[in-house]
């Protein structure tokens, strides 16, 4: 008899995460509700140079994550910011949505704190 694995819908539910927000220097609050599989695949294609219409890979990847309008503001702020700021931000956002242990870790913390 075959081992029964979790179904697709259950995997999708378990993969959902809370949105994240951060403020820009002009007071704009950027909210990222999720990073979809399609967005992630597009970022990977951009990084490989497989998106023919992309002139600037960094700009295109930030646009995929945050939207064009927010990306323009983020990149404008980044012009005078220390080098690692943008990488830290995008890494933190990606890590938040990719972290499979997030829900279990949060539950464990809540239980140990009570």
The model's pLDDT over 58-70, given as tens digits with 9 standing for 90+, comes to 999 999 999 999 9
In a domain, 113, yes or no: no
Angstrom distance (rounded) from CA 71 to CA 57? 13
Q: First vs last Cα of the chain: how many Å apart?
A: 43
User: Are the CB atoms for 79 and 62 separated by under 8 Å?
Assistant: no
In a domain, 24, yes or no: yes
In a domain, 105, yes or no: no
The pTM is what? 0.78
**82 lies in which domain range?**
13-100
The model's pLDDT over 17-47, given as tens digits with 9 standing for 90+, comes to 999 999 999 999 999 999 999 999 999 999 9
pLDDT at 102: 54
In a domain, 66, yes or no: yes
Angstrom distance (rounded) from CA 72 to CA 37? 23
């Amino acid at each position: 008899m075959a081992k029964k694995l979790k179904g697709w819908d259950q995997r999708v539910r378990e993969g959902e995460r809370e949105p994240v927000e951060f403020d820009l220097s002009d007071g704009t609050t950027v909210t990222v509700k999720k990073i979809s599989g399609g967005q992630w695949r597009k970022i990977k294609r951009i990084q490989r140079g497989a998106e023919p219409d992309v002139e600037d890979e960094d700009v295109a990847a930030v646009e995929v994550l945050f939207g064009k309008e927010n990306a323009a503001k983020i990149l404008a702020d980044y012009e005078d910011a220390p080098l690692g700021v943008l990488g830290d931000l995008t890494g933190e956002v990606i890590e938040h949505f990719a972290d499979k242990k997030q829900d279990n870790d949060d539950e464990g913390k809540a239980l140990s704190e009570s």
